[in-house]
Amino acid sequence: MKLPGYKRLIKEDFKSEEQDLVNKLAFIVNSGFEPVYAALSKGLTITDNFNQQTQDIVVKVNAGGSPINTIQIRYLLKSSCIGITAINCTPAPPSAPWITWEQTGNGLVAINKITGLVANTEYRVKLVLFGA
């Protein structure tokens, strides 16, 4: 659904006896609604508006999808991690990477497996870690 155009409250649109009150309320309503309208008009970004963290990793996996070297990511969000997804991978893998992980008690997220990659091939993977 496309949003209709944004119309600000303007005192001149009201009867003269209502204009004083509208003038007082218009500043609050207009300045509060403008960022909401801007956000809903394709203004939301993953970086600025979502509880997430991006992380680049370099990984090589064995035939079972387990990383050959230990991969632990310092988790920077205040809430617990609820999911990890790969948003870019080079070179291009044969199928979408699927990440199995666990959040440790010391502020780290450990990557246990990444399926969808060719074994013994080095990949650069950009991950998004989502907070609760």
2 & 32 share domain: yes
Predicted model pTM: 0.75
pLDDT at 1 over 80: no
123 & 68 share domain: yes
Instruction: Return the CATH number at 80.
Output: 2.60.40
66 & 98 share domain: yes
66 & 118 share domain: yes
68 & 99 share domain: yes
**Separation in Å, CA 82 to CA 53, 55, 78, 109:** 12, 15, 12, 11
61 & 98 share domain: yes
30 & 86 share domain: no
Q: Which residues pair with 54 in a beta bridge?
A: 128
For 108-120, letters b (16+ CB in 10 Å) and e give: ebebebbebbeee
Flag the least confident range among 3-17, 61-75, 108-122.
3-17
Report the domain count for the chain.
Answer: 2
Range of the domain at 7: 1-44
**Cβ–Cβ under 8 Å, residues 90 and 124:** yes
125 & 92 share domain: yes
**Could you report the per-residue pLDDT of 35-75, keeping only the tens digit for each?**
888 888 888 888 888 999 999 999 999 999 999 999 999 99
Half-sphere exposure of 97 (CA within 13 A, CB side): 33
| Domain final residue pick, 29, 44, 59 | 44
60 & 111 share domain: yes
Residue 17, pLDDT score: 94
67 & 23 share domain: no
Average pLDDT over residues 23-32: 92
